[in-house]
Amino acid sequence: EEADTERVRQKKELNQVISERDILGTQLVRRNDELALLYEKIKIQQSMLNKGEIQYRQRVDDIRLLRVEIRKLRREKSILSKSVSNLDDLRREVYHVQKELLKERTRCRALEEELENPMNVHRWRKLEASDPSRYELILKVQTLQKRLIAKTEDVVEKELLLQEKEKLYVELK
C-alpha cells in the first residue's frame, strides 16, 4: 500500500511537472513570437532611420547649394547696383555728347551753305562803293543767317530736352 501511495504521489508530481513544462513551453513560444515581432519592429525602424538620414543629407546638400546660389545672387546684385549708378553718369554724358554733336552739325550745315552761297563781304569790297543797298542786304542776310543758326541750335537743345523728358516719362511708367 505504501508503494501505491508513493506511486500516486509520484504520478501527481509527474503530472504537475508535465503541466509546468507545457506552461513554460507555451510561454516560450509566446516569448519567441514577441521577440520575432520586436526584431521586425527594429528592422522597420532601422529602415526608417536610414531613409531619414538619407533625406537629411539631401536637405543639407540642398541648403548648401541654396547658400551658394544666394551668395551668387548677392554678388550679381552688387554688380548690377554699381552698373545702375554708372548708368546715370553715362546717360548724362550721352545727353551732353548728343547736344554737342547737334551743335556741330548745325555749324557744319551753316558753313556748307555759306560755301555754296558765298557772302563774304571782304571778297567783294567793290560792292561797298558801287551798290550800298546790296552791301546792306548782304549784311542783313549774314545777320539773319546768324540768328537762324542760333535759333536752330536752341531748337536742337529743346528737342534734346524733350527727348530726355520723354525717356524719363517712359521709364517712370
113: Cβ–Cβ under 8 A, 6 or more apart, which residues?
Answer: 145
125 pLDDT higher than 60: no
Model confidence at 56, in pLDDT bands (50, 70, 90)? very high
Average confidence (pLDDT) over 112-129 = 62
Average confidence (pLDDT) over 38-62 = 97
Mean pLDDT, the chain, rounded, equals 87
More confident residue, 79 or 129: 79
Q: What is the pTM of this model?
A: 0.39
Model confidence at 20, in pLDDT bands (50, 70, 90)? very high
34 pLDDT higher than 70: yes
Write out pLDDT tens, residues 84-107. 777 778 888 889 999 999 999 988
Q: What is the pLDDT of residue 122?
A: 55
47 pLDDT higher than 50: yes
